[in-house]
Amino acid sequence: MVSVPRRGVPRWPAVVAAVTMSLLYSVLPSRLRIGPVWLLPVIVFALVTLAAGARRRGYHDLTHKLGLALTLMVTLAVVLSAFLLVARLPGVKMPAADLLRESGLIWLTNILVFALWYWEIDGGGPAMRRRDRHASTDFLFPQMQRRDDGSAQNWAPGLLDYLFLAFNTSTAFSPTDTLVLSPRAKVLMMCQSLISLVVIAVLAARAINTL
């Protein structure tokens, strides 16, 4: 594998997001979680460490693949947790506070994991993106459409922009101010909206049932 020098964006915001979502997932009760409480944080820490080592050695393609593997693994865990939340709810008497907390944890983890998805795929990945001139066939942010003062040429999205996009997708079920261009981005956005809709529907159904 040949190392290729590239001018990319810093990865530390994604590391913070990955650690945060693994900790949020570990707070879930065992009935909604895969394996012991330490399993996902340990796996995430191992993949983050491997990705950091690969990046330092210039193996950007391997770093990107490890990031995608981490994100896919947490996505599958969130999907399973949402399924278990729905499957085990009928006939189970659960305090409203517990249901709200568990649903909220899944919902927040869903936002973080898809923010990472968007951050990993946009423009071919963080190693391919430039901080001074962003170009992408996945998303078109409002800042990229400004032509009056030339500021669009010096702007590039950060993790907060992808987090904002993921938050809007989970709340409004739409990207709001950002245009979604590529098929893969549209598929990811549909998956995120579906998970969020399932969690919100569970809360609404239980709320109606208690009336």
DSSP 3-state of 93: coil
For 43-55, the pLDDT digits (tens) are 999 999 999 898 8
Check residue 71 and give its pLDDT: 93
For 156-176, the pLDDT digits (tens) are 788 999 999 999 999 888 888
Q: Which of 11, 124, 136 is nearest to 61 (CA)?
A: 124
162 or 96, higher pLDDT = 162
For the chain, percent of residues with pLDDT exceeding 70: 84
Handedness of CA 162, 168, 173, 174 (dihedral sign): negative
Handedness of CA 61, 120, 15, 65 (dihedral sign): negative
The CA distance from 40 to 26, in Å, is 7
pTM of model > 0.85: yes
Phi-psi region of 90 (alpha: psi -120 to 50; beta: other; left: phi over 0): beta
Q: Which of 170, 161, 164 is nearest to 191 (CA)?
A: 170
For 72-81, the pLDDT digits (tens) are 999 999 999 9
